[in-house]
Structure 1
């Protein structure tokens, strides 16, 4: 009886871990989803779901060599969230590619 319970618990644990891994892979499978995931977890779900994402032409041109080394590209939110502490727009993000996954980070205005 105990072995059956342990097997069932282990099976549920494995299914849960596989589910978490699949969700992680889906949320980081494209630059857009990685960026939306980042903004969502920064605490701006409305902006993450409603803002359009466009290429940041200026930063991609100015920092072309740096971005090539980082395997990255800059993107801009058209309706960026406003940071409450500074009232600044969180508009520009850098999305890096690692193998087949993408990870976003806030890039700032500079």
Structure 2
């Protein structure tokens, strides 16, 4: 019975390590952070196929705010269309926390 418990504990440990590794990989650079966020918003095709470029307009206009937030804006070249409003989900803000990047939708302005 004790070996079964050890086996289950090892299995749980490996599963947790795998989840942490995946989280670190998908948040290791700005592009991957945007792709991950778009994927979990429910647009896997756009997450995998759209190009991602720096949003020069927002990075220039909001420069001071972004410096304080340790962030940069990025734009999808082929954005998904939001189902409810039919608007393009184009701009995303990516913040850097240590060596991790986390993205959030920034709007379509």
Name the TM-score class by shorter chain: over 0.9
Aligned twin of 2:93: 94
- TM-score, with structure 1 as normaliser: 0.97
Aligned twin of 1:63: 62
Deviating 4+ runs (over 6 angstroms): none
Shift in Å, 1:109: 2.4
State the alpha-carbon separation in 2 of the partners of residues 84 and 13 from structure 1: 38
Gaps of 5+ in 2: none
Aligned twin of 1:37: 36
- TM-score, with structure 2 as normaliser: 0.98
Aligned twin of 2:50: 51
Gaps of 5+ in 1: none
Q: CA RMSD in A?
A: 0.6
State the alpha-carbon separation in 2 of the partners of residues 34 and 15 from structure 1: 24
The count of residues paired between Structure 1 and Structure 2 equals 109
State the alpha-carbon separation in 2 of the partners of residues 87 and 17 from structure 1: 38
